[in-house]
Chain A
Amino acid sequence: MNARLQGIWNKRLRTPIVSAIRYAVLAVLAYQLLYPLLYMLSMALRRPEEVTDPSVIWIPKTFSLQNFTDTLRVMDFWDAFANSMYVGVGCGLLDVVSCAFVAYGFARFRFPFSNVLFALVILTLVVPVQTIILPLYADMKYFDAFGLMKLWSAVTGGPGSISLIGKYASFYLPSLFAMGLRSGLYIFIFRQFFAGMPKELEDAAYVDGYGPFKTFFRIMLPNAKNAVITVFLFSFVWHWNEYYLSNLWLGNLKKNFAIALSSLRVDLQSVVNVQTISDPLVVLTRIQAGALLSILPLLVLYLVTQRYFTDSVEHVGIK
C-alpha cells in the first residue's frame, strides 16, 4: 500500500505539485519586488484627493498627469537628466576600459607583489569612503596631481592647482584611474572573467605578432562582451543613484537626480517655486511621481540590456 502511494506520488502528483508550489512562491516574490513600483505608479497617476479614498486601491478613478507635470518642473527634469547621464555614461565607459585593462594585468601576468597589490584592490572596497572623504575633498578642491600642477605653474605662471568641485572631472578622473566608485569590484569581476578565458586565444594573437596591448584591445576586450555590459550597467546605475559623493563633488552646481530627489520634498514646499504646496497628500503623490521619473531612464536601460545582463550571469562563472 505504502509502496503504491509512493508510486502514485512519484508518477503523477510530484511534478504538478512541485511546480504549483514554485509558482506560488514566485508570485509572492514578484509581488514583493514589484510592489514599490506599482505603488509609485498608482500614486503618481491619481489625484491627491484619491489617496485617502478607500474605494481606490490600485487603479485611480480619474487619471491625472498633474503630478508628473508639476514634478518635471520642480525637479528641473531635463537638467537633472543631463547631469545624471553625463556622470553615469562617462563613468560607466571609463570604468569599463580602465578596470578591464587593470584586471587583465592581474589575471594574466605574474609580477613582484601581484598578490599584495590585488589585496590592496580589495582593501579599497573595504575602507568606507567616509574615512578618506575629508582629505579627498581637499585634494579635489586643490587638485595638483603629484605636484605636477605646481611645477607647471612655476614654468608658466598659471595657478598652482585647479578646483574639481562642481566639475564632472571629480567623477571622471578616479574612474579613469580605476579608483572610482566600487571600481575594486569591477576589477574583481573582470579578473575572474579573463582568468576563465582560454589561453590559446592569446597565444594565437602572439603568434600573429600582436603585442600584449594590441591583444588586449583587439582580442580580449571584444570577447568580454557580457562582462563589459555587466560592469557598465553596475557602474552606470551606481553612479546614477549615488547621493553622498554627488552632493559633495557636484552639490547644487550640477544637480543630478539623486540630489534633486533628496531635496524634492523641501523644493515642493519652498517659496522658490511659483506656487508652494502645503497639502501633505499633494506632496505625497508628487514625490512618488518624482521617484518614478528619476528611475524611469534606469528602467528603460535595464529593459534593453536585461537579456545580456542575465546571460552574462551564466557565463561569468565565478569560482
Chain B
Amino acid sequence: MFRLQTMPYPKKKQLYGLLFILPWAIGFVLFFAGPLVTSLKYAFHNMEMTPAGLKGKFIGWENFRYAIFKDPEFIREAANSFVNILYAVPLILVYALFVAVLLKNNFRGRGFMRAVAFLPVIIASGVLMDILKEDVFSQGMRGGVDSVYLFGGGGIEGVLTELGFGPKLIEVFNNVIARIFDLTWRSGVQVLLFLAGLHAISGDLYEASSVEGARPWEQFWKITLPMLTPIMLLNIVYTIIDTFTDYGNGVILMIYDTAFSQVRFGYSSALSWLYCLAIGLFLGIVYLLLRKRIVHSQD
C-alpha cells in the first residue's frame, strides 16, 4: 500500500512543494491559461454576437494583417505608448531614487515625510487620477491657483527660447514638465522598492569605505548605485508593465472600445495579442541590455 511515511525525504519535500503551489496552479489554469488560449483562438476568428450566442468564423491571419497594415489608429496609439515609456521610465526611476535616498537618512520629520511619500500608492487610482488631472491640474494651468509655477511650463518656455534651444528640444522639455505631476503620482511603488533596497545594503560597506576616505558622493556612485541595480531592474520592469497596462493607456482604451462598444471581439483579441507580444519583446530587449550591468552581491 502507498504510504507517505515510507517515501524518501527528498521526494516528500517535492510533493509538499507541489501541494503548496497547488492553489495557484488551479487558479492559473482556471483564470489565466484557459482564457488566454481562448483569446488566441478568438484572434483568428471573426466573432459575432448572434441570438444563439457568440459565433466565430475562422479567417486566419486577417485580423492581424488588418491591425498592422490597414488600421491607422492602432499603430499610432502603440507608437505613442512606446514613446511614452521612453519618457516615463527614466523620469520615474530618477525621481523615485532621489526620494528614496532622501527618505533613508535620519532627520526630524522623517516619519511624516515617509507617510506623505507613500500617499500615491494609497490614493492614486484610475478614476481618482482622472478627476485630479482634469480638475486640479487644469485649474492650475488656467491660472486660477498658485500652482502655475509648480506644474506649468509656460514661463520656462520663454527662458529656453532666449537661451537658444531649438523648438524640438523645448517640446521635449515641455512634455517632461507636463508629466511631472502625473509621474510623481505614479512613482509610489517604485519609491517603496528603492527604499527597501537601500535598507538591504549592508552598513559595513559604507563603514569600510569611509575608513578608506570615501566621501558620501563617491559612496553613492560606487556603493549605493551598483548595489541597487537588481532593484533597478525590478523597478524598470514594474514601471514598463504598469505604464503599458494602465487603463488610461491609449491602446488599452482602444482594445476595450473595439470589444465592448464596436462588438468586434475577434479583432479586439488580435489587437491585445499583438500589443502583448510587443510588450514581451520590449521587456526582453530591456532585460538583455541590462543583464550585464546587474551587480550580484555574494552572500
Contacts and interface: CB of A to CB of B under 8 A. Distances in A.
A279 B28 CA distance: 50
Interface in B25-58: 25-28, 30-32, 34-36, 38-39, 42, 54
Residue of A39, A128, A173, A319 with highest tally of chain B CB at under 10 A: A128
Contact of B21 (A25, A105, A139): A105
Contacts of A242: 125-126
A104 B20 CA distance: 7
A136 B196 contact: no
Interface string B188-203: 0000110111011000
Interface stretch (A69-77, A153-161, A290-298): A290-298
Contacts of B69: none
Given A106-B21, A109-B13, 17 more contacts: A22-B107, A25-B102, A26-B113, A32-B184, A33-B185, A57-B145, A111-B14, A117-B25, A124-B32, A125-B241, A126-B276, A134-B269, A179-B27, A233-B122, A287-B135, A295-B122, A318-B197
Interface of A: 19, 22-23, 25-26, 29-37, 39-40, 43, 52, 57, 98, 101-102, 104-106, 108-112, 114, 117, 120-121, 124-136, 138-139, 145-146, 173-174, 176-179, 183, 187, 212, 216, 233-234, 237, 240-244, 258, 261-262, 284, 287-288, 291, 294-295, 298-299, 302-303, 306-307, 309-310, 313-319
B14 A135 contact: no
Contacts, number: 249
A170 B176 CA distance: 40
A105 B20 contact: yes
Contact of A131 (B128, B195, B272): B272
Interface residues on B, range: 35 or more
Interface string B237-255: 0000100110100001001
Q: Which 6 A-B pairs have the closest CB atoms?
A: A105-B20, A177-B27, A109-B17, A241-B125, A179-B27, A135-B38
Interface of B: 13-21, 23-28, 30-32, 34-36, 38-39, 42, 54, 99, 102, 105, 107, 109, 111-128, 130-132, 135-136, 139, 144-147, 150, 181, 184-185, 192-193, 195-197, 199-200, 230-231, 234, 241, 244-245, 247, 252, 255-256, 259, 265, 268-269, 272-273, 275-276, 279-280, 283, 297
A172 to B, nearest CB: 12
B200 A146 contact: no
Main secondary structure of the interface of B (DSSP, over half): helix
A284 B135 CA distance: 8
Residue of B120, B244, B272, B275 with highest tally of chain A CB at under 10 A: B272
B32 A105 contact: no
